[in-house]
Structure 1
Amino acid sequence: MNDLIHSHQQGAVLTLSINRPDKLNALTNAMYNRLADLLYAADEDPAITAVIITGGEHCFTSGNDLRDFLESPPTHLNSPAFRFMDAVIQLDKPLIAAVCGAAIGIGTTLLLHCDQVLVTHHAKLRMPFVNLGLCPEFGASLLLPRLLGHARAARLLLWGDGLDGTQAVDLGLANKAFEDGEQCLAAAQKMAQRLLTLPRESVLHTKRLLKQPLLEALKDTLRRENLLFMERLKSVEAKVVLEGMLQRSAEKG
């Protein structure tokens, strides 16, 4: 699994790269567990000050691997995808996302928990949970309306509308958009390196303070979303849509 999730530490900066380009960086249970383990370890490691998460220069992630998801769906609150969410929420180190290309489903909801989000202009962000017969995850039902207001959040969550990188910056979902993936990744590294020049304990305390006001509400929302998500996966609506998608994918070869 190490070949699908690359972990590279340069100085006090840890970069986690999703590396499954042939499947548009779709995430399996094993990949979620690997990411969670690395984030939990990073949080405990005094040699790490900042974490970057990326999918490389062309794609962030297309979300869950459909076949893996249907064959081994989450069945409890400590399932791999939920462990990954917990690891992100618990992380005290600043987290920077470099988003180049598609960021679908959890690829977008993850960004709500990052301290800085850098995108390419051609990045495609979308949360098609309702379209799949499911419901929002990763605290999106709490965080997105607070960030964008109800009406804009509803367009993204109820209607499943998408955004490009430029629109994401305009709405405040991302900090800055770049022409290509190389520039985006370089900017993320530069931003992380800048943190190393600042007093480390002050950085950590400030991140905790930024998270604290919403932390309990976020954990409660996450639990309710995840319970409903597991329930929705068993619904006829979701099974028809997801199994149909899997069949069409198989027919295409």
Structure 2
Amino acid sequence: MSELVLVEDAAGIRTIRFNRPEKKNALTRPMYTAAAEALESGDADPAIRVFIIAGAGGIFTAGNDLVDFMQAPPHVGGGETPPVEHFMRALLHAKKPVIAAVDGLAIGIGVTMLMHCDLVYASPRASFKTPFVDLALAPEYGSSQVMPRMFGHVIAADLLLLGSTWDADKAARHGLINDVADDVEALARASAANLAAKAPGSLRAAKELMRRPSEGIQDRITLEGGMFAELLRSEEFSEAATAFMERRKPDFSKFG
């Protein structure tokens, strides 16, 4: 892994940390590649249950490094997969829960990636901005679709058209983040530990269902029913049921 992206595994939690604080954790091609590989290898490792994405030095990320960006402007869908697309695809397709811990600046793709995480926490120092139009560019990685669905058109326009800066309270009020805490990483680790103790197969199923495109409600009920029936036959459910009857906490540590 790149020294500019630190990867730490502990108690089933993989923390992926952007580590370029002297440049406000601006992301380069090697950093995107390192972060993508950390997600992909963790998704394939049964010992890893949850991801946390964070930044070093009290900064999440100022977005793309413009010098690196201009040296090789990415063209998504234009042939060879650029590193930024590799990272966003790894994030979008991660089967395991991804938590973001945002301290300080989150700009551009630093905001876009949050919409593809499962839980997002921020410190009171956090600020959020998507200056694509200000830079004479277009929104990226589904943000033009996901933001209006999340916030409604007029609120999404505040970010995507005006390029307004949101503080943590405004981000929480509109549903971009889950909660605000002075020690944002402690909150993220507590949630990650909670998730890491749950049945991994059930977590993957719930995340897959939540991330699926909209469909007819009866189609969704049928799909859920099939997954529910499959999980009823699983060893994970057997452990959960046995633990309930024995009045103890279930132990899912042996399941991958």
Tell me the residue number matched to 1:122: 125
Please, what TM-score do these two structures have when normalized by structure 1?
0.81
- Name the SS of the counterpart of 2:163 in structure 1: coil
User: Could you tell me which residue of structure 2 aligns to residue 206 of structure 1?
Assistant: 206
User: Greater RCO between the two (CA within 8 Å, min separation 6)?
Assistant: 1
Deviation at 1:200, TM superposition (A): 1.4
Alpha-carbon distance in 1 for matches of 2:207, 2:103:
25
- Tell me if structure 1 keeps the 8 A contact 2:2–2:30: no
Between the two proteins, the alignment pairs up a number of residues equal to: 212
Partners of 1:57 and 1:185 within 8 A in 2:
no
Match of 2:2, SS? coil
Partner SS for 1:43: helix
User: Who is 1:24 aligned against?
Assistant: 24
Larger deviation: 36-45 or 118-127? 36-45
Tell me, in whole angstroms, the C-alpha distance in 1 between the residues paired with 2:76 and 2:137: 16
- Is 2:173 the counterpart of 1:170? yes
By how many angstroms is 1:66 displaced? 0.9
Runs of 4+ in 1 over 4 A off after TM superposition: none
RMSD in angstroms over aligned alpha carbons?
1.4
1:1-253 equivalences under 5 Å are 2-56=2-56, 58-75=58-75, 77=77, 78-179=81-182, 183-213=183-213
Unaligned runs of 5+ residues in structure 1 are 216-253
User: Which AA in structure 2 matches 1:23?
Assistant: K
Go from structure 1 to structure 2 and tell me whether the alpha carbon gap of 1:142 and 1:3 turns closer, same or farther (over 3 Å shift).
same
| Residues 117 and 57 of structure 1, relative CA distance in 2, 3 Å threshold | farther
Alpha-carbon offset, residue 2 of structure 1 = 2.2
1:10 & 1:74 partners in 2: Cα distance? 34
Identity in percent: 42
Amino acid at match of 1:92: K
Greater fraction helix: 1
Whole-angstrom CA distance in 1 between matches of 2:149 and 2:180: 22
Gaps of 5+ in 2: 216-256
Deviation (angstroms), 1:57: 5.2
State the secondary structure of the residue aligned to 1:103: strand
Structure of higher CA gyration radius:
2
